[in-house]
Amino acid sequence: MKKLGLNTICTHVGEIKDEQFKGAVSPMYLSSSYEFIDVDVKRYPRYFNTPNQEYLSKKIAALEHTEDAMIFGSGMAAISTMFLAFLQKGDHLVVQNTLYGGTVNFIKEEFPKYGIEYTFTNGYKVEDFKAAIQPNTKLIHIETPSNPLLTITDIKAIADLGKSKGIVTSIDNTFASPVNQNPIDLGIDMVMHSATKYFGGHSDICAGAVASSKEHIDRIWNVGKNLGGSLSDMTVWMLERSMKTLGLRVKAQTKNALKLAKWLDKHPKISKVYYPGLKSHPEYELAKSQMKGFGAMLSFELAEELDSQQFQQELKLIKSSMSLAGVESTILSPHLTSHSLLTQEERDAVGISNQLLRFSVGIEDIKDLKNDIKQALKVTKQASFA
């Protein structure tokens, strides 16, 4: 077959044909026990190879242009297994300083127990990564666009740096999704996702994914089967169902986000907007060169020391919510949620203020989202500390 389009991959790749009843959707295989005599594959849920697990991985690999993929019980299960597959005692990790708080906390809490060394970069330019490399560096990890400040790292430059030094590279591609960015095409070795987010897209699934070469996935599988971070086939089936509309959802959300970012950027009660699709963004040209769309995530800071918590409470349509990327628009304070495990000093160092709000844009009509923000801003008062 010729190369399939995005929505065709989302809809058809990785589906299991119902040979018995000819149903239009994949059957769900809930068995946790399978035959082991005279079979090609010895299937077991913890081995990530039940029928639904196996076939969903094909869809993810196709979307990220890789040979293989694996699905996990959460994004943290995916990234932690990937790290532990490529790092051991005495090895060193170079990791971007603007990063999801859960990843930062895992590195700081768990790596010392394993004798794994790490360095957070001073910035997110390729020069910052070069400066952090040590003789025992085995892995470079980046996140772009980053959570929650939407910084943009040069993917190809990092991939080239890794190859020149014989260092494996990985990326958290959650914010962009494969709809807007394919890091493998730019030379990155491994791509991970919190599949809870855009892959699931309906705020009812917790899952993770890693996509890479078969060689790398085999190495991750060897660790994953011991850590046991697999997920139930009910969830796998729901995730495959949800991913059928991935392209449609993310493109609609991305379109909304660009319109909202431009509108917020001109609003007198918004002091700053973080969105790579704005020409004022310092990495706008870089984002345009490596992304197909600028994504559906943005962040902004309220002006005049307005009470950010009251603002969120006044919203009628946009939900205050811990997660992101559902079809419904959601908002949160990173210092109270995604980056609450960081100290105030650590948040200050990377620019995460208490006034910063992370906005996950949904598929609602744009006029309704604007009206909701307008009415909330109208009644929001100054914070008591102002």
Catalytic residues, by residue number, are 46, 100, 172, 197
Q: State both tokens at 138.
A: 């085995």
> Angle of helix 51-64 relative to helix 233-243, nearest 10 degrees?
30
What whole-number distance in Å separates Cα of residue 92 and Cα of residue 138? Answer: 6
Q: Which helix (H) or strand (E) holds 77?
A: helix 75-86
Q: In 144-294, where do the E strands start and end?
A: 168-172, 190-193, 208-212, 270-274
Residues contacting 120, CB < 8 A, separation 6+: 95, 96, 97, 99, 104, 132
Listed in sequence order, the DSSP H helices in 228-283 are: 233-243, 246-265
Q: Are strands 117-120 and 68-72 parallel, antiparallel or unpaired?
A: unpaired
CA-closest candidate to residue 331, choices 306, 301, 351: 301
Q: Are strands 297-302 and 330-332 parallel, antiparallel or unpaired?
A: unpaired
What whole-number distance in Å separates Cα of residue 52 and Cα of residue 26? Answer: 8
What whole-number distance in Å separates Cα of residue 150 and Cα of residue 76? Answer: 20
Which residue shows structure tokens 């991305």?
254
- DSSP bridge pairs for 332: 358
Residues contacting 57, CB < 8 A, separation 6+: 14, 48, 68, 69, 70, 71, 209
